[in-house]
Amino acid sequence: MKEQNLLLQRNAPRLKQTHEGKIITLKSNIRWCSDILGIRCWDGRLIWLAFVMDCHDREIISYISSTIGIDGQMIRDMLLEAKEQRLVIPRFLQL
């Protein structure tokens, strides 16, 4: 985009701030992250995608996609599915 002069001009100078936080974790199920993005198809349709990812092994735990948009209930269902996949103890292991 830069080569084709398609970037927007910046209104204010950026602060020189270094990121010193830790994203990666030493074991799974300590920190998760999520995001929502839209992908424009060649035929003009927009496909929405949301996912939950484990920051340790960068595995996608759960995801949803839709062509009509993603609402709060879909996000709650996705988080519940991720929780069930990663945090629920199998019945045969419960005492």
User: What is the pLDDT tens value at each position of the chain, 95 positions in all?
Assistant: 678 777 777 776 666 777 676 677 888 888 899 999 999 999 999 999 999 999 888 899 999 999 999 999 999 999 999 998 887 666 666 55
Residue 51 in contact with residue 62, Cβ under 8 Å?
yes
Q: Tell me, what's the pLDDT at 75?
A: 95
Inter-CA distances, 88 with 70, 78, 83, Å = 26, 15, 7
User: Tokens at residue 48, please?
Assistant: 């929405």
Cα Dmax for the chain: 64
pLDDT score of 9: 72
∠ CA(35), CA(38), CA(43), 5° rounding? Answer: 160
Paired tokens of 3:
């080569």
- Whole-number pLDDT of residue 12: 62
- What count of residues does the chain have? 95
